[in-house]
Structure 1
Amino acid sequence: MRRLKHGDAERGAVAPMTAMLMVALLGMTAFAVDVAMMYSEHAQLQNGADSSAIGIAQACAKSAGSADCVSPASTATTLAGLNALDGVSNAPVATVNLATGTIDVTTQSRNASGDNHFSLVFARALGVQTADIKATAQAKFGGFSATDAIPLTFSQCEADPGFTKGLQFFPVHGTKLSDDPDYACKHQSSSGFELPGGFGWLKHPGATCTVHVDIDDPWVEANEGNDFDSTCSSAFASWEAKLKAGKPVELLIPIFETACPVKKGTGTNPCASSPYKKSFKIEAFAQISLRGWHLTGGGPTYMTSDASALQKSLGLKNSDTGLFGTFIKKVSLTEAATLGGPTTYGALGVQLTE
């Protein structure tokens, strides 16, 4: 019998071609699906690393002897797990450097069986079973060195590093009341000159109620006169609204150690190095919980019930202008500030640096 010949020489090539295309398609599927899952896993790990670093930094800022600061690995593992969809993550690296105020955390994938890897799905068909996924973060904590602040500065002698004075009245620097023996500083500055009490307004550029203060460049020009800074009207209005709503108003404020021109005293004039005729030398930052104010020269007046009671008990007159507040110890999350300054007055910052 004679064999019939087919005219199509490529007949039968569809099957092997389909097989090859299926392998390629499977590879693309594995790449698309598994890469998407790996991306999601890394995002969870990064969130875990960030929150762990911030959380440990906050704990160390409050107390270097706290459990979270002393045993950071356990804390990091717990916080990393809380940021994972499956509730499981590993934290192979969690270190605290108290000298530099830095926290370093590395998070790593961990499956439900306790294995430190991420299990792939489609890539298994290509012989790739797992992937090692990690994320790192670094946080810093410490005193403020430089930041944008409300253009107010408080005297060193008004500050309360022990947080024992409670609610206080702070007269405007340069007024008659700030020189009264009941409000004047009880000590001299390190230069031997008398240190004034109260608070003062800082000169600032522009129309916003902020001034950049850097303790590495500590001299800040003082505002001329004692009148209210009109650029701060909206700020005081917003603080009043918050206090009326029962919410706290907590401000980061600079503390001055020298006010120029100086009053009487002996020794080297500390104002000799000031580039301004009237200025303040900033030494550190503090946190104050504001409770009221009575300001003239176009300034507003508002007092909470406790501030009003203090005004009456002190026998303050309508001409006695100033602020009411309490110094507080607080750890603040911050992005724009520079850390590394003194922690004398309990104002501490925490920020994510990497």
Structure 2
Amino acid sequence: MRWIKAPASERGVVAPLTALIMVFLLGMAAFAVDVATMYSEHAQLQNGADSSALAIAQACAATPPGPDCSSPVTSASGMANANALDAFTNVVSATVGSGVVNVTTQARDTAGNNHFSLVFARALGIETTDIRASAQAKFGGYETADVVPLAFSKCESDPFFTKDLQFFPSHGDTLASDPAYECVTPSSSGLEVPGGFGWLDSPGTCSVKVSITDPWVGTDSGQDYDADCATRMNQWGAILADPTKTVEILVPIFDDRRGTGSNAEFHIEAFAQISLRGWNLAGGTKLPEDFMTTEATNLSKSLKLKNSDNGIFGRFIRKVSLAEAATLGGPSAYGAPGVQLSQ
């Protein structure tokens, strides 16, 4: 008779296996539950930091500045606690700089400890974690800077601007009166708003600042190339000499005009973002007054333009509002005081 050896007993295996599974489950619970509560805590801290930074910036932008501007930590503490479900938040810092407010908040438990207590992660030896949130708000006057001192008529920007390469003649150029380019509409002042583009006043800067609250800008009574732009146009030419590179500029769009001669002004409605491809401003062939990329030269030939046809070559990308183009933090002389989150 042959004896068969019985298999070894498996009794006692379930307990250690269960323990291992429980450790795994606790780890997953720690990941799921604790991470979710940490996310919620950070959202509360971020709301507190954002609201604090905005409130302090609004106080600083007021005339005269409000009390929250001179005591930012006190203001931030109240705002941060109001945005926390347990009404406990530590304000690590709240500072006011030149047109900038920075606030950093930190988790705090009900016992006053500056940390966030975990639940399931304790089983893995992790009891607390540090959670922080930061916000930055800017305040000051809105202004637009470094805008090219040219202006297009609104009737050209909508709907006649296309995304194809095109030639934009200057005001006063004989080509601007050609039926293919003519763009004359009445303005609210009763004066005609011509097509083409014109130079704006830019004393020594080759840029023009546009107030978003009073966007009237003086015009240059002449039609000639602005010599103040020589340096900038030399830079553009150097960039565009590489056919793989582009130069994008913001050009003001006017929808009204008033005055005549040296007292004439354009009312700026928005900006045109244009990919510049060349310009003919003096009827020559050299920088800074004149520069042509290969595609601009080809377009000039196809349109049978003459050297006396002054204008610029480019592609219209999109229309940009005054508020979108504005930068915040400048002197309020350029517009109404404003406040916005920047980080």
In the superposition, the TM-score normalised over structure 1's length comes to 0.50
Distance 1:184 1:107 in 2: 59
The answer as to whether partners of 2:253 and 2:268 remain within 8 angstroms in 1 is: yes
Distance 1:191 1:203 in 2: 21
Distance 1:316 1:193 in 2: 29
Change (3 A) 1:236 1:220: same
Change (3 A) 1:289 1:158: same
The answer as to whether partners of 1:260 and 1:278 remain within 8 angstroms in 2 is: yes
Distance 1:335 1:166 in 2: 23
Which residue, 121, 135, 138 being the options, matches 1:137? 135
Distance 2:177 2:247 in 1: 28
Letter in 2 for 1:277: N
Deviation readout 1:276-316 (Å, 9 max, x if unpaired) = 62221111112111110001189621111221111111111
Report the RMSD for the aligned CA atoms in angstroms. 4.1
The answer as to whether partners of 2:149 and 2:200 remain within 8 angstroms in 1 is: yes
The answer as to whether partners of 2:184 and 2:194 remain within 8 angstroms in 1 is: no
Change (3 A) 1:251 1:183: same
Distance 1:284 1:329 in 2: 11
Give unpaired runs (5+ residues) of structure 1. Answer: 1-44, 54-105, 110-115, 120-127, 263-270, 340-350
1:240 is matched with 237
Which residue, 321, 327, 334 being the options, matches 1:337? 327
Identity of aligned residues (%): 52
1:311 is matched with 300
Deviates more, 1:155-164 or 1:191-200: 155-164
Higher share in helix: 2
Deviates more, 1:223-232 or 1:165-174: 165-174
Give unpaired runs (5+ residues) of structure 2. Answer: 1-41, 51-103, 108-114, 119-125, 330-339
Structure 2 residue 270 is matched with structure 1 residue 281: no
Matched pairs, number: 212
The answer as to whether partners of 1:145 and 1:284 remain within 8 angstroms in 2 is: no
Distance 1:227 1:193 in 2: 23
In the superposition, the TM-score normalised over structure 2's length comes to 0.51
Shift in Å, 1:132: 3.7
2:247 is matched with 249
Structure 2 residue 177 is matched with structure 1 residue 179: yes
Deviation readout 1:61-115 (Å, 9 max, x if unpaired) = xxxxxxxxxxxxxxxxxxxxxxxxxxxxxxxxxxxxxxxxxxxxx9989xxxxxx
In the TM superposition, 1:100-119 aligns within 5 A as: 117=116
Shift in Å, 1:160: 4.7
Distance 1:179 1:330 in 2: 24
Letter in 2 for 1:248: T
The answer as to whether partners of 2:272 and 2:320 remain within 8 angstroms in 1 is: no
Letter in 1 for 2:278: G
Shift in Å, 1:179: 2.3
